[in-house]
Structure 1
Amino acid sequence: MNRLAGRRVIVSGGGQGIGAAIARTFAEEGAHVAVLDGCAEAAARLAEQIGAWGYAVDLSDVRGTREVMDRATGRLGGLDVLVNNAGVMRFSALLDMEPVELGEVFDLGTRAMLITTQVAARSMIAFRTPSADCAGKVINVAGMGGTSGGGQAHYAASKAAVMALTRAAAHELGPHGITVNCLCPGYVLDEMDPACRNRGPVDSWSALSPLGRLAEPGDVARAALFLASSDSDYLTGDALNVAGGMVLH
């Protein structure tokens, strides 16, 4: 359908998993895509496969992130859509957690999202003026409703912060015609995850969904496509759960 024909997109954390599925789906829908990832090989490999541009970046590095965002935006000739997917998964019992562990997940999640959103929004504002059409779209990928199971208090806190920052950004950027929404995947089957080859955990997690299965990366990518398209022009500050009904528990 080419729902994103000609739109210029940056996907952070786009080298594999959900991010790669989003980048691939957007490219198939006619978008010009730049993939940012901490793994240079993953970014370059996907970029070659989908006809995009790949950039290696350490998203915990503020200056480096700004520079790569500027380079990618310049290569695209502007920016219409930003997808903030980068993050880090860590496990630690609450009583054993060190403060530095909390900082790490915030650096690669919430703080990186702030930096990329600032650069993207300034570009969107500079290239266009508000009109009947949205000037830009920002999509932030968080966890399932900002919640998490045991051993992931720091991860849950960082994703809840992503949701709060999404609402604040929606409020401030709305007058410029920019929508900001949050995408909240549940458990997603990822071929890169060794646990996905173990049917025991997969079956247990699948039982949490009324649909009886876990999400595929493509399920999340199609929801992101909706938020990136003109179909979602009147949605901002919202959190869309793609969790197969797991948040009903």
Structure 2
Amino acid sequence: MTSPEAPPRRVVVTGAARGIGASIAAAFVAAGDQVVLLDRSAVVADTAADLGAKSVTCDLADPVDARRGTAEAIDTVGGVDVLVNNAGVFEIVPLLEIDADQWSRMFDVNTRSMLLTIQVAARRMIEQGTGGRIVNMASMGGKDGEAGQAHYAASKAAVISLTQVAAKELGAHQITVNSICPGYVLTEMGADTRTPEMVAGWSAKSPLGRCGSPDDVAAMAVHLASPSAAYLTGQAFNVTGGMIMH
């Protein structure tokens, strides 16, 4: 939680209309921060209103709109102290069936959009001169790619590498950059095709015997933006319940 002496942090969360992004936004609001939710879905306005936050609608797959939307979100709260890049897409396609458009779409949303939002936010953080925190959503799949996820896994591995480079280049400005690698997290996405047997199989992969929740991931995002995480940068933190341990 933001201390009584410290002003509320200005936080931008992408892909925040629902699921993990909405939980991250809610956690920062609960900490007393000024939060802007960014998403291409018009639902983001309702989510933000329910939280008492602000929202901006934009398509992060479009480079021009990604820059415009990020800048607008930052201006909405008069600056940026924390950027959480959560926007992303997922699909399962066998390796030999992935076409060029599917590959490009995956990287446009999952990787290129992060580069663009980081560029806009980091420039503002540098101008402000007070440092900042950037948290990028990678995936367990970025470390251990699974069958049927070649383009997704590759895009998330790229997020991990992008995070490391950004941490090295922005560290002199006291901007930390880290990534989060969630495992199986139960959200409304895919709920219509998710069976109890599937959930049981995923849960069995964790020593804790369960899948993750959006709140599990949100807790890590808030921690990485906290004063106690000031010396953490360039890392890819697993939030997998022990499904992977490297």
In structure 2, what is the equivalent of residue 82 of structure 1?
83
1:140 aligns with 2:136: yes
List per-residue Cα deviations over 1:209-249 (Å, max 9, x = no partner): 00000001000000111001111100000010000000149
The 1:88–1:49 alpha-carbon spacing in structure 2 relative to 1, beyond 3 Å, is same
Q: What letter matches 1:157 in structure 2?
A: A
In structure 2, what is the equivalent of residue 214 of structure 1?
211
* Equivalent residue in structure 2 for 1:246, among 221, 243, 246: 243
* Equivalent residue in structure 2 for 1:177, among 174, 177, 180: 174
Aligned 8 A contact 1:145 1:247 in 2: no
In structure 2, what is the equivalent of residue 125 of structure 1?
126
List per-residue Cα deviations over 1:186-227 (Å, max 9, x = no partner): 000113432575211000000000000000100000011100
Aligned 8 A contact 2:141 2:153 in 1: no
- Superposition RMSD on alpha carbons, in Å? 1.6
Matches of 1:29 and 1:214, distance apart in 2: 25
Q: What letter matches 2:145 in structure 1?
A: S
Matches of 2:214 and 2:179, distance apart in 1: 16
Matches of 1:89 and 1:95, distance apart in 2: 17
For residue 136 of structure 2, give the secondary structure of its aligned residue in structure 1. strand
The 1:124–1:107 alpha-carbon spacing in structure 2 relative to 1, beyond 3 Å, is same
Matches of 1:31 and 1:243, distance apart in 2: 27
Equivalenced residues, count: 243
In structure 1, what is the equivalent of residue 33 of structure 2?
31
The 1:5–1:91 alpha-carbon spacing in structure 2 relative to 1, beyond 3 Å, is farther
For residue 108 of structure 2, give the secondary structure of its aligned residue in structure 1. helix
In structure 1, what is the equivalent of residue 65 of structure 2?
64
Matches of 2:31 and 2:137, distance apart in 1: 20
Post-superposition shift, 1:67?
1.1
Matches of 1:104 and 1:221, distance apart in 2: 26
Q: What letter matches 1:144 in structure 2?
A: M
Aligned 8 A contact 1:5 1:29 in 2: no
For residue 246 of structure 1, give the secondary structure of its aligned residue in structure 2. coil
Matches of 2:189 and 2:235, distance apart in 1: 29
Aligned 8 A contact 2:212 2:240 in 1: yes
In structure 2, what is the equivalent of residue 230 of structure 1?
227
Matches of 1:30 and 1:104, distance apart in 2: 36
- Of residues 169-178 and 45-54 in structure 1, the stretch that sits farther from structure 2 once superposed is 45-54
Matches of 2:46 and 2:189, distance apart in 1: 15
In structure 1, what is the equivalent of residue 102 of structure 2?
101
Q: What letter matches 1:7 in structure 2?
A: R
- Of residues 213-222 and 142-151 in structure 1, the stretch that sits farther from structure 2 once superposed is 142-151
In structure 2, what is the equivalent of residue 21 of structure 1?
23
1:149 aligns with 2:150: no
Q: What letter matches 2:16 in structure 1?
A: G
Poorly superposed stretches of 4+, deviation over 6 Å: none
Q: What letter matches 1:241 in structure 2?
A: N
Percent sequence identity is 50
Q: What letter matches 1:56 in structure 2?
A: T
Post-superposition shift, 1:100?
1.8
Matches of 2:113 and 2:199, distance apart in 1: 31
Aligned 8 A contact 1:57 1:68 in 2: yes
Q: What letter matches 2:111 in structure 1?
A: T
Q: TM-score with structure 1 length normalisation?
A: 0.94
The unaligned stretches of length 5 or more in structure 1 are: 130-134
For residue 247 of structure 1, give the secondary structure of its aligned residue in structure 2. coil
- Of residues 57-66 and 202-211 in structure 1, the stretch that sits farther from structure 2 once superposed is 57-66
